[in-house]
Amino acid sequence: MAAEIDQSLRDEAWIGDAVLTLFVRSWLMKTRSKTIDPRERAALFELFVSNQFLSSFGEPTRVEAKVGRIYREHGLQESFRHLEGTFVDKFLRTARNKGFNL
């Protein structure tokens, strides 16, 4: 039973990771594409999807799994709303603390 739960969590996290990746790339292109160069954009992407950043919201696999569940239950638009409302402000603070000019 525990192995099934672990696999289910990993499956949800796998989907959540894909949704997170799409969100971050879309967000960076939409909101920051004119103000940062591609190298900096890549570094910001890596920061946003890193386990270190995600761990500030909980265990990274569980954080991604929650995103995956929201996607499966409510769709892409709602999962993007969740990510925008939950992650972006803290990400901006984290990036600024690391020296990014955002």
Other Cβ atoms less than 10 A from the Cβ of 94: the count is 18
For residue 33, the model assigns a pLDDT of 64
13: left (phi over 0), alpha (psi -120 to 50) or beta: alpha
For 50, list phi and psi in degrees, rounded to 5.
-70, 150
For residues 96 and 47, is the Cβ–Cβ distance under 8 A? Answer: no
Whole-angstrom distance, CA of residue 48 vs CA of residue 21: 9
Confidence at 1, pLDDT banded by 50, 70, 90: low
Q: Where are the alpha helices (DSSP H) in the chain?
A: 2-32, 38-49, 51-54, 60-74, 76-97
* 33-89 per-position pLDDT tens digit: 677 888 899 999 999 999 999 999 999 999 999 999 999 999 999 999 999 999 999
For residues 31 and 15, is the Cβ–Cβ distance under 8 A? Answer: no
- Hey, what are 73's tokens? 């239950």
> Does pTM surpass 0.85?
yes
For residue 32, the model assigns a pLDDT of 67
* 2-44 per-position pLDDT tens digit: 565 699 999 999 999 999 999 999 999 888 667 788 889 999 9
